[in-house]
Amino acid sequence: MSMIKIENLTFAYPGSYDNIFENCSFQFDTNWKIGLIGRNGRGKTTLLHLLQNHYSYTGRIISAVLFDYFPYPIEEKNLLTGEVLNKVCPTAEEWEFLREFSFLALDAEVLWRPFDTLSNGEQTKALLAAFFLKEGCFPLIDEPTNHLDAHARQVIASYLNKKKGYLLVSHDRKFLDECVDHVISINKATIDVQAGNFSSWWENFSRQQQFEQRQNERLQNDITRLRKAAMRTSNWSDQIESSKYGDGSADRGYIGHQSAKMMKRAKVIAKRRERAIEETASLLKNTEKAETLKLWPLSHHSQTLVTCSEVVVSYDQTAIFRPVSFSIIQGDRIALNGGNGSGKSSLLKILIGAPIAHTGTISRASGLVISYLPQDTSFLNGSLSSFIQENQLDETLFKTILRKLDFERVQFEKDMAGYSKGQKKKVLIAKSLCEKAHLYIWDEPLNYIDIYSRMQIEELIETFCPTMIFVEHDRAFTDKIATKRIDLLP
CA pair distance 296, 104, nearest whole angstrom: 43
Question: What pLDDT was estimated at residue 274?
Answer: 61
Beta-carbon contacts of 97 under 8 Å, excluding residues fewer than 6 positions away, are 82, 85, 111, 129, 130, 133
**Predicted local distance difference test score (pLDDT) of residue 162:** 93
Kindly list the distances between the CA atom of residue 242 and the CA atoms of 102, 234, 259, in Å, as whole numbers in the listed order: 92, 13, 11
What are the angstrom distances between the C-alpha of 281 and each of 226, 272, 287, 402? 17, 14, 10, 24
Residues 377, 260: Cα–Cα separation, whole Å: 67
What pLDDT was estimated at residue 289? 66
Please, what sign has the CA dihedral across residues 402, 403, 406, 412?
positive
- In whole angstroms, give the CA distance from residue 408 to residue 41: 9
* Per-residue pLDDT tens digits of the chain, which is 490 residues long: 689 999 999 999 887 778 889 999 999 999 999 999 998 888 899 999 999 999 999 999 999 999 999 998 898 989 999 999 999 999 999 999 999 999 999 999 999 999 988 888 889 999 999 999 998 899 999 999 887 888 889 999 999 999 989 999 999 999 999 999 999 999 888 899 999 999 999 999 888 878 777 777 776 776 677 676 666 666 655 565 565 544 444 555 555 555 566 666 656 655 665 665 555 555 456 666 667 899 999 999 999 999 999 999 888 778 888 999 999 999 999 999 988 778 899 999 999 999 988 999 999 999 999 999 999 998 999 999 999 999 999 999 999 999 999 888 888 988 999 888 889 999 999 999 999 999 999 999 998 899 989 999 999 999 999 999 999 999 999 999 999 999 998 8
Cis peptide before 71 (omega within 30 of 0): yes
SS3 state of residue 260 = helix
Q: How far apart are CA 291 and CA 404, in angstroms?
A: 6
pLDDT for 260: 61
pLDDT at residue 180, as a whole number: 96
What are the phi and psi torsion angles at 91 (to 5°)?
-85, -10
Q: What is the largest CA-CA distance in the chain?
A: 112
pTM for the model stands at 0.79
Cα–Cα distances (Å) from 304 to 132, 298, 329, 401, 463, in that order, read 50, 14, 5, 30, 22
Q: Where are the beta strands (DSSP E) in 63-149?
A: 66-70, 137-142
Amino acid at 451: I
CA–CA separation, 366 vs 377, rounded Å?
A: 30
What's the CA gap between 130 and 116, in Å, rounded? 17
Q: Which residues contact 6 (CB under 8 A, 6 or more apart)?
A: 24, 25, 26, 27, 59, 60, 61, 62, 191
DSSP string, 431-458: HHHHS--SEEEEESTTTT--HHHHHHHH
pLDDT score for 245: 46
**Strands annotated E in 12-65:** 21-29, 33-38, 58-62
**Residue 252 has what pLDDT?**
57
